[in-house]
Amino acid sequence: MSINIQEQPMEKHNNRDRPLIGVFDLFTGKGGIQSVMSTLLPRLTDHYRIVAINPYHNQAYADRFRNTSIKVEPLVNRPPITPFIGGANQIDRVFRIARRTPWMLRTLSALHQWNRIHRPDVIYFNFLPVANLFSRALPRSGPRLVFHSHGHKSEREISSSAVRRLNARFDAVIAVSEITRQFLVRADVDPNRIEVVYNSVDADAIRKAAMQSNGHPLPNRQQGERVIVQVGALTPKKAPDLTIDAFAKIATRHRCQLWFCGDVLAGGDRAFGESLKRRVKELGLTDRIHFLGWRNDASYVQHTADIAILPSRSDCESFGLVLAEAMSLQKPCIGSDRGGIPEVISHQETGIVCPLNVGAFASAMDCLLAGPRLRTQMGKAGLKRVREHFATAQQQQKICNLLQRVIDRKP
């Protein structure tokens, strides 16, 4: 059975005949996955009852579903004292995880109890370690299981334990890009369980939001001065240091500024963030490169800028949502050739895809800063590409149909 979104009338939110979907995740802050899900889930409520299970009591995540019919349940009385474990590649990480064990056990038990009481049709996960562990609280005769894969650094990052769990217990795996699907297949996840569903952006909503500032001023700019913007967390894998060094190479040739809209994540590497500011000072570019911090009007910032950039170092950049959002605002984009970025940017049509080196990114900046007609042409093509390939209605239709197939499947 498939659901035709366009032909289905709006249902009342108290219709308890609709299947129940429980979305279980351990979100610690703000990020792309939360953005993707907060856009997608409300659009599924015409056909499904949805509960966002929020054991970390993450208020920022809960606030995303305010004024929707989605119910947010904390599941447990208290979150862990420090939700963010951190310590990746550090010797004490195992001890940090051990301290979390009592809370994990209570949460496993609470999920088992919640499933027994509410009998959901599907439990939906977005993080592989969470799916691998917490799916064990659910009986085989219980709900269908779906894992939405938002990206991996490589197939080596996907543990054999998780692969066995996906193949033995999960009914469907959603990959947000073709490269994500390839990583899963190379890790030995059953390809018949995997379906590629690109992330989506609501171009009309983004264009509307882009007209509204949060009231905090942006850096002053002179008439005719162009702005390149990088939106997202200041982490090594997003390569803001590369952006700074590439900008330094072309700064004397153009009247331009570089803005970073984002900051170090909670629990992230503060030293890295400080090193970026020191580098800007060393280059003598403090009047040209600006750190805006986290803003809740990123669309307005992108709209105000002229070019969007994302030189991610890692293949775990499975899609590049901020690039699709920039394309919605008719901004040409510069991105690395890593992860799913080449699936978002159509090279030489909606932007420029570069190998991961300073010279290539500097050349791309040069090209777009010097070509106003090219910027306009690429911007128009970008909006067209978003509407044709990354529209919210397409993602909604595919996810709805996948969920219905999973629910209808015989045990």
Kindly write down the DSSP assignment for every residue of 357-401, as one continuous string. SHHHHHHHHHHHHT-HHHHHHHHHHHHHHHHHHSBHHHHHHHHHH
Q: How confident is the model at residue 252 (pLDDT cuts 50, 70, 90)?
A: very high
Instruction: Specify the CATH superfamily of domain 203-389.
Output: Glycogen Phosphorylase B; (3.40.50.2000)
Global pTM?
0.85
pLDDT digits (tens, 9 = 90+) for 112-142: 999 999 999 999 999 999 999 999 999 999 9
Query: Per CATH, is 20-200+391-408 categorized as 3.40.50.2000?
Result: yes
Average pLDDT over residues 324-343: 97
* Cα(276)–Cα(358) distance, integer angstroms: 15
Say if residue 222 is exposed, middle or buried (CB neighbours under 10 Å; 0-12, 13-18, 19+): exposed
Residues with Cβ < 8 Å from 290, sequence gap 6 or more? 219, 257, 258, 259, 260
pLDDT digits (tens, 9 = 90+) for 370-388: 999 999 999 999 999 999 9
Q: How confident is the model at residue 24 (pLDDT cuts 50, 70, 90)?
A: very high
- Edge-to-edge order in the sheet of strand 256-261: 289-291, 256-261, 226-231, 307-310, 333-336, 351-354
Identify the pLDDT of residue 151: 86
Identify the pLDDT of residue 381: 99
* Residue 395 pLDDT exceeds 90: yes
Confirm whether 20-200+391-408 and 203-389 share one CATH topology.
yes
User: Is 233 in contact with 264 (CB distance < 8 Å)?
Assistant: yes
Identify the pLDDT of residue 9: 37
- Virtual torsion, Cα 4, 6, 8, 9, nearest 10 deg: 170
Identify the pLDDT of residue 69: 96
Nearest to 365 by CA among 264, 275, 287, 251: 251
Identify the pLDDT of residue 126: 96
Identify the pLDDT of residue 266: 75
Q: How confident is the model at residue 8 (pLDDT cuts 50, 70, 90)?
A: very low
Average pLDDT over residues 326-343: 97
Helices 270-282 and 240-250 pack at an angle, to 10 degrees, of 10
* Residue 328 pLDDT exceeds 50: yes
Identify the pLDDT of residue 267: 72
Identify the pLDDT of residue 276: 98
Identify the pLDDT of residue 10: 36
User: Is 321 in contact with 201 (CB distance < 8 Å)?
Assistant: yes
- Edge-to-edge order in the sheet of strand 20-24: 71-73, 49-53, 20-24, 122-125, 144-149, 172-175, 194-196
pLDDT digits (tens, 9 = 90+) for 228-250: 999 999 999 999 999 999 999 99
Q: How confident is the model at residue 2 (pLDDT cuts 50, 70, 90)?
A: low
Mean pLDDT of the chain: 91
Average pLDDT over residues 24-53: 89
The proportion of the chain whose per-residue pLDDT surpasses 70, expressed as a percent, equals: 91
Average pLDDT over residues 16-21: 89
Residues with Cβ < 8 Å from 375, sequence gap 6 or more? 306, 307, 332, 368
Phi, psi of 94 (to 5 degrees): -60, -35
Average pLDDT over residues 175-201: 96
Higher pLDDT among residues 396 and 35, named by residue? 396
Domain boundaries, the chain: 20-200+391-408, 203-389
Average pLDDT over residues 80-106: 69
* Residue 255 pLDDT exceeds 70: yes
